[in-house]
Structure 1
């Protein structure tokens, strides 16, 4: 006979259930429900990951290369193992930096991902760019101001002639100990002028000379280098716009350079 006060039993209709049985059944149903929810979440997560890895939005579409002057973009891209179209998440850019540095004139390389679809490549080069004629010999100087014995790729390569005194001739050393001259050359290379320069006269730091586009430029001393370079750029553009044939430009007149024309 069933004890009515026994709280371990539950009567449903004509059937009597033990509470412990009910608890186990409920626990099993809850467990199945959680398993079903977890399976749904896992399926959703896998779907998201699949779309992320296969969607065109996450594929490399552009490569930006900066810092190279003599190394072709195509040579650098080859060292990246043709990354265009590859998934940017799976692509490891660090893996190819050493390969880029193996190129002839590349001194350093840094490759990074710019999400969602760009590779950014920044390189630093070291290549013969200047020459100094001394005792009938030509001493080659790199774009970083270092003496080099490395020959250019092309026999027809043209160099910017430097006239200077007390120069260093040891391979691998800077051709000058003057920080001001080093800064001047660095800023000149960063400007739009460098492609038109044929000669630099650095014999007197108080009276620097530049031969550019066949025009003799009296740059003066090495104070306010950045300002003078920008002023020279503006002056050359004005000369071009006005169709003038200039012979010389004197920057030793503040904001108003003196231009001598034919």
Structure 2
């Protein structure tokens, strides 16, 4: 008898819990779809230095007032990633009515003259922009023949030139503080690299092998030339196993 009563009580409890869950679920669905409680009222954008807020929102396709549950974050991510300056993006729902967009941007690393314009590249060789003017503070690389250019894609070169090696050279120059002394880098005869310094010294680097060795020697030679008051000439790494300096006019 007692067991029978307990079963009935248990069934009633289960029934009440089921009804309560249905009620709560229904209430939540009504709140989430039929009211503006979950409508997006704020979109936060983080990590954007080049792109302004409005451009990010426009690229995303997101809209204020849209229900937060109906937003397709995957589609919005793909939209933002289509911008050449965006490397990665993450979108989070912040309940009840906010969205947070976090962006990692590609950074301009070098420029390449092209026709009457300049191609802007990041440190992976992706084309970020094509402008008619040259920005200050970016290293110019001359002598590169372009195969094809497409904004947002990797730059394709002719003559089997390894763009990644050139970019690695620039990175290594930054590590030893030589970068700010460089006026431009030029490719002669496809793969022979010449570094032009603002002081008037040229560095005939030759092929891009033993880069760290050549750079360490370059620093030592430049220090020696500075102490001697010499500011014109060429440091050669392309005339044998050991570097030599030839003053201008010799």
TM normalised by structure 2 equals 0.49
Computing the radius of gyration from Cα coordinates, the structure with the larger value is: 1
TM-score by length of 1: 0.47
